[in-house]
Amino acid sequence: MNFSLEKRPASESEVRAIQKMAYDLAVKYQYDEAFLICNWLIDDPSTEVAGYRERSAVKDHMQDLDGAIEDLRVVTLAFDQEPGDFYTLGKLLLQRGSTGDSILAFDRAIALCEESGASYYLNSSLLFRAEAYFKKTLYAAALADLLRLPPAYQTYVPDVGMRSKEQITAEASVALQKQEKSRFRMK
């Protein structure tokens, strides 16, 4: 490991390189070494958020969803202006089955993207939130999000597989029609 615990990073690029080093170790299943680096980042106030963010990624790689979520919640409480953090938190919460909480995280990611004009996480957040709405049987809300996406937009949803705008739209439309027929019969 070409890394010294003596010298603190002096730039964002150095922090990113250290984060990458930690994740590369996790990919090689060298979790103790990865945690050592993450915890070293956490120990310094200037790199604390970066350390928690990366430790969350390492825990996610280990399939420790609860630990990954816990660390990412620390990040979003300390620094609530990064849409990527809320997007990742939403994905983890959805994967864990905390669908309502995932919707709230995606809400925040979408709002931050719209406020800043940064669109990098916008489409993915919309698709994942639509998937979460679908799971909560909020089909009209899912369809509203899907309308905002470009044609053929798709992404991988953990534990589900590839999901496209058109696929979720078709499923939500059918489910909404059934839901409306069911309500009509009840009256």
The secondary element (H helix, E strand) that includes residue 41 is: helix 31-42
pLDDT at 110: 98
Total Cβ atoms within 10 A of residue 12: 9
Of all residues in the chain, the percent with pLDDT exceeding 70 is 96
Strand partners, 154: 164
Residue extents of the structural domains in the chain: 1-79, 82-187
| Whether the domain at 1-79 and the domain at 82-187 fall into the same CATH topology | yes
The domain 1-79: what is its CATH number?
1.25.40
Q: Cα(first)–Cα(last) distance of the chain, in Å?
A: 69
pLDDT at 103: 99
Q: Give the pairing type, strands 154-157 and 161-164.
A: antiparallel
The predicted-structure confidence for 147-177, as pLDDT tens digits, reads as follows: 999 999 999 998 889 999 999 999 999 999 9
- CA dist 54 and 57 (Å) reads 5
| Ranges under pLDDT 70 in the chain | 1-4, 185-187
**Cβ-contact 48, 42 below 8 angstroms:** yes
The predicted-structure confidence for 30-52, as pLDDT tens digits, reads as follows: 999 999 999 999 999 999 999 99
Closest CA to 117 of 83, 150, 88: 83
- CA dist 26 and 163 (Å) reads 27
pLDDT at 118: 82
Level-2 CATH architecture, domain 82-187: Alpha Horseshoe (1.25)
pLDDT at 187: 56
pLDDT at 185: 66
- CA dist 103 and 90 (Å) reads 7
